[in-house]
Amino acid sequence: MSETTYTPESGDMEALEFHVTEDHHPETGTLLGFWLYLMSDCLIFACLFATYGVLGRSYAGGPTGAELFDLPLVAINTSFLLLSSITYGFAMLETQRKRVGATIGWLAVTGLLGAAFLGLELYEFAHLLNEGAGPQRSAFLTSFFALVGTHGLHVLFGIIWLVVLVVQLRKHGLIVENQRRLFCLSMFWHFLDVVWIGVFTFVYLMGVLP
């Protein structure tokens, strides 16, 4: 970057060359932007929960949640996602110890648990579709697929983000930028856990009640 200054002694314009070594953006800019994104995601899920709360009993003569939901299977799926949150916490601990290999290892376990969660969710969706309980069957199923499917898409995006981050860690190590990305993904992943606890309680547990 260059800047031109005027010196009264010489009456000439002189060009002063200098280099800027600091980042122009504030250090907290990325985190603030990501918090704003999470707040917008909260609004999306709040709308989906509200929609399910209104339409969750509109069966239109079709099957109810008590007839469709396999609660033990959903409980196993929930354990996969909750365990993935714990393993991500282990990855963050290894990040603080500056151990790249261990960090990548725990991230890989987290990704596998997330993939297992998605696999069981797709199995559940396929089973419902085979039973003729697709989203077009009733307002209850429409709101169910919208809420659970949106959460599943977020988990898929989180896994893709995790894979890209592992590649960055293998290439550049635990540089400041990668540590910031790890922290942002940590917030995102734990946010998905909190949302799923709401889904498990509000949709599945309450859905099997008469």
Tens of pLDDT along 109-131? Answer: 999 999 999 999 999 999 999 99
Residue extents of the structural domains in the chain: 29-46+54-207
Q: What is the spatial distance between Cα 48 and Cα 63, in angstroms, rounded to a whole number?
A: 21
Tens of pLDDT along 122-171? Answer: 999 999 999 999 999 999 999 999 999 999 999 999 999 999 999 999 99
Q: What is the spatial distance between Cα 37 and Cα 20, in angstroms, rounded to a whole number?
A: 30
- Homologous superfamily (CATH) of 29-46+54-207 is Cytochrome c oxidase, subunit III, four-helix bundle (1.20.120.80)
Q: What is the spatial distance between Cα 85 and Cα 78, in angstroms, rounded to a whole number?
A: 11
